[in-house]
Amino acid sequence: MVYYLIALIVFLIDQGTKYLISSRLQLDEQIPVIGNFFLITSHRNRGAAFSILQNQRWFLILVTIVVVVGIVWYLNKVRKTRRLLPLALALVLGGAIGNFLDRLLTGEVVDFLQFNFGSYTFPIFNVADSCIVVGVALIILDSLLDMKGGSQTEVTEVKETGEAKEGNE
């Protein structure tokens, strides 16, 4: 249950920040936070990450539904036996639902976090995108840790008959 609460918090923070940006700033309006390095910029994206798949609203909605169903199923499967993986899935879930709602209601996602590295401007993103990226990074980390620990099989249970049950911890 705690992982769904984390996903809900991610979703609420994402939607709250998007509401503030869309209701208080004009499109393309910028507020410098750290000089020209970090700006709050009101931007809309009709595609996916890095503006790929522009104007593919229904495809992105369909893919998100499949992904969300898969995350919920897998989260229910691993939440009692793992720690890092369910947290990662909760972050991805909250972010995916946040961007899904934007696409469903308006056909575009509100982005507003802009970083400039000299003459290069990183694609503008939002809280949901950040949580998805952090969640995916944690999923990769969990997989690497599992591979490292999974190479050693340990005896986890000895039954009265003297048989050993092997498994991964």
Residue 102 is a catalytic residue? no
Residue 96 near residue 68 (C-beta atoms within 8 A): yes
> How many angstroms separate the CA atoms of 25 and 20, rounded?
8
> How many angstroms separate the CA atoms of 42 and 20, rounded?
10
**% helix / strand / coil in the chain, to the nearest 5?**
55, 20, 25
**Residue among 14, 28, 102, 111 flagged as catalytic:** 111
Beta pairing, strands 154-158 & 120-121: unpaired
Look-up: residue for tokens 């970083």?
115
**Residue among 14, 102, 129, 142 flagged as catalytic:** 129
Residue 111 is a catalytic residue? yes
> How many Cβ atoms sit within 10 Å of the Cβ of residue 21?
21
> How many angstroms separate the CA atoms of 89 and 3, rounded?
8
> How many angstroms separate the CA atoms of 96 and 29, rounded?
26
Q: Which residues are designated catalytic?
A: 111, 129
